[in-house]
Amino acid sequence: MGNHQRNWIWGRHAVMESLRAHQWLPDELHLAPEVLDSNILREATRRAQSSGITTHEETAESLTQLCHARDHQGLVARMPEFPYCSLDILDKHPDNSQKFALVLDRIHDPFNFGSILRSADLFGVSTVLIGEREQVGVTSHVARSSAGAVNFLKICRVPNLCEASQRLIDTNYQLIAATEKSSTPPSRIDFQRPTAIVIGNEGTGIDPDLLKLATATCTIPQSGHIDSLNAAVAAGILCYEVARQRTPSDP
């Protein structure tokens, strides 16, 4: 992806969630009234004005030239750098069993990363840890594939994932590594406790030093011919299992 596109997000989900969440607000907003639903146009304009964001009404073709994409749906926003959180956010969370984090080890594909974030928000993850090296950051493609979930998660970008993971353990998280080397299905893990799940690189899996820190491991049972799951699919299944265990059963 070119450097130009890194500064822009586009599409109704990505742009509107950015305006609604107030976590990663645009520097400026470009709208094409000719292709926008009138309600979306009014809401986007109102939210931008209340946040002091400069707005520009333009043609759909002008927006295409801005973001170098035709699927903008009439909304394009120029974004600042994504506001990654400090790891100190862990100290501000209440000490209860519902704490849930993801540790992503060298996820390269922006669509995988965005899909993981979408599942994370859907199933109750509060914090996502990523490394600074060999890891895609929050880009326009990540924001779009997350359907705006980047705006509702605390994403921490840290220089050393092992040290950050040890800090999770020190603050009473169990660190569960998802690896095909395990023989334990996720249904046998007690996810009622504060939990951080480690998802490894799409090709090489979890770094050995990080894997050694895990307090337990699990693997998703499979019966097909392919011997591994896509990282985003695996993350979605594991996040669902955590949410399932934490959802009260009907009496």
CATH number of the structural domain spanning residue 237: 3.40.1280.10
- Please say if the pLDDT value at position 135 is more than 90: yes
In terms of domains, do 49 and 117 share one?
Answer: no
- Digit-coded pLDDT (tens) for 193-246: 999 999 999 889 999 999 999 999 999 988 776 667 789 999 999 999 999 999
Rounded CA separation 26/6 (Å): 13
CB 115 within 8 Å of CB 186: no
**Into how many domains does the chain fold?**
2
Average pLDDT over residues 20-29: 95
In terms of domains, do 138 and 44 share one?
Answer: no
Mark 95-111 as b/e (b = at least 16 C-beta within 10 Å): eeeebbbbbbbbbebbe
- Please say if the pLDDT value at position 3 is more than 80: no
Domain boundary among 47, 78, 109: 78
CATH number of the structural domain spanning residue 54: 3.30.1330.30
Domain boundary among 26, 56, 78: 78
Domain containing 47: what range? 3-78
Do the domain assignments include residue 206? Answer: yes
Average pLDDT over residues 154-169: 96
Domain boundary among 78, 109, 125: 78
- Please say if the pLDDT value at position 4 is more than 50: no
Q: What is the model's pLDDT at position 88?
A: 86
Do the domain assignments include residue 83? Answer: no
Average pLDDT over residues 52-64: 96
In terms of domains, do 65 and 175 share one?
Answer: no
- Edge to edge, what strands does the sheet with 54-57 contain? 8-10, 75-78, 28-31, 54-57
Cβ neighbours of residue 147 closer than 8 Å, sequence gap 6 or more: 13, 14, 17, 114, 118
Average pLDDT over residues 172-201: 95
Q: What is the model's pLDDT at position 222?
A: 83
Q: What is the model's pLDDT at position 1?
A: 40
Do the domain assignments include residue 136? Answer: yes
- Digit-coded pLDDT (tens) for 68-122: 999 999 999 999 999 999 988 776 665 566 799 999 999 999 999 999 999 999 9
